[in-house]
Amino acid sequence: MSCSLRPVGRAQRAPLERLVRATDRFRESEVRTAVELLDEALAGDDDYRFVGAYEGEALVGYACWGPTPGTEGTHDLYWIVVAPERQGAGIGRTLLADVERKLTADGGRLLVAETSGRADYAPTRAFYEKHGFIRAATVPGYYAPADDLVIYTKDLTDGELARAAP
Ligand SMILES: CC(C)(COP(=O)(O)OP(=O)(O)OC[C@H]1O[C@@H](n2cnc3c(N)ncnc32)[C@H](O)[C@@H]1OP(=O)(O)O)[C@@H](O)C(=O)NCCC(=O)NCCS
C-alpha cells in the first residue's frame, strides 16, 4: 500500500505517541518529548515542523524538524519514525525527501541528525548513510557509558558547503 504525506494534526496526538513507543527505540521521557514537540507545533511554534505518512487514515510514520537556533540555514531532524511493521518499505525515504524538499525551498543549507552509536541503532545509521548523510562527529559516552552520540550531517546545497570550506 502506498502512503501519502499530510500534516500531523491534533487527532494524531495519541497515534503518534503509540507509534514512537512501538519502535522500542526510545525511553519514556523521549516519547513524552516527541508528543510535547507536537503540542508546541500545534500551538503555533514554528520551531517544530511535522509531516506525517499515512496509509488511509492511519499514521504510519512522521518526521519532525526545525531550524537550529543560532545558525544560518541549519536545521535539526529531531525525529523520523516509521511503524515497526512498515519499516523497510520506503516510507522513511519518502518522509526524508519531503523534509529536504521543504528545506531546500526555504533556503536550508545543512540538515543535522543525531543518533546513538549503539549496535541496535545500526539500521538507523545505515538509513542516514544511505541517504547522503556523513558521519560528522562522535561523542563517546554521551548518552550513557558505552552509548555514544553520533552526529550526521547532510549538505543541502549541492556541494556548496564543501566548496566554501577553507
Ligand atoms: C530509521 C527509519 C526512520 C527508516 O525508515 P524506513 O521506512 O524503515 O526506511 P526506508 O524503507 O525508507 O529505507 C530506505 C533505505 O534505508 C536503508 N535501510 C532502512 N532500514 C534499514 C535496515 N534495517 N538495515 C539496513 N539498511 C536499512 C535501506 O538501505 C533502504 O534503502 P533501499 O530503499 O535502497 O532498500 C525507521 O527504520 C525507524 O523508524 N526506525 C526506528 C526509529 C529511529 O531509529 N528513528 C531515527 C532516530 S529519530
Residue 73 above 70 pLDDT?
yes
For residue 13, CA distances in Å to 4, 50, 62 come to 18, 12, 12
Best CA proximity match to 53, nearest among 88, 5, 111: 5
**Other C-beta atoms within 10 Å of 57: how many?**
9
Q: Quote the ligand 1 centre to 57 CA distance (angstroms).
A: 22
Distances (CA, A) of 144 to 123, 141, 148, 151: 20, 5, 7, 16
Instruction: Check whether 111 has a pLDDT greater than 80.
Output: yes
What would the grid cell of residue 130 be?
544511505
Using CA atoms, how far apart are residues 121 and 37, in angstroms rounded to an integer? 23
**Mean residue pLDDT across the chain:** 95
The pLDDT, as a whole number, for residue 158 is: 77
Q: Provide the pLDDT for residue 2.
A: 84
Which residue among 16, 50, 127, 133 is best mutated to probe the pocket of ligand 1, counting the most ligand atoms within 8 A of its Cβ?
127
Average pLDDT value for residue range 54-60:
97
Q: Which atom of ligand 1 is nearest to the CA of 122?
A: 24
Q: Residue range 69-76: average pLDDT? A: 96
Q: What is the mean pLDDT of residues 89-106?
A: 97
Q: Please name the helix (run of DSSP H) or strand (run of DSSP E) that holds residue 124, with its range, or none.
A: helix 122-130
Whether the predicted pLDDT of 166 surpasses 60: no
Query: pTM to 2 decimals?
Result: 0.92
| pLDDT tens-place string over residues 115-129 | 999 999 999 999 999
The pLDDT score that the predictor gives to residue 40 is 97
Q: How far is the CA of 153 from the centre of ligand 1 (A)?
A: 16
For 62-80, what is the mean pLDDT? 97
Measure 91 CA to ligand 1 centroid, in angstroms.
Answer: 8
Residues 6+ apart with CB under 8 A from 120: 25
> pLDDT digit string (tens) for 9-19?
999 999 999 99
Q: Find the 88 Cα to ligand 1 centroid distance in Å.
A: 6
Q: Which residues line ligand 1 (CB under 6 A)?
A: 23, 25, 79-82, 87-93, 115, 123-124, 126-127, 130
Q: What is the pLDDT of residue 89?
A: 96
DSSP secondary structure of 55-70: ETTEEEEEEEEEEPTT
pLDDT at 6 over 60: yes
Q: Which of 87, 94, 96, 151 is the pocket-test mutation for ligand 1 (most atoms within 8 Å of CB)? A: 87
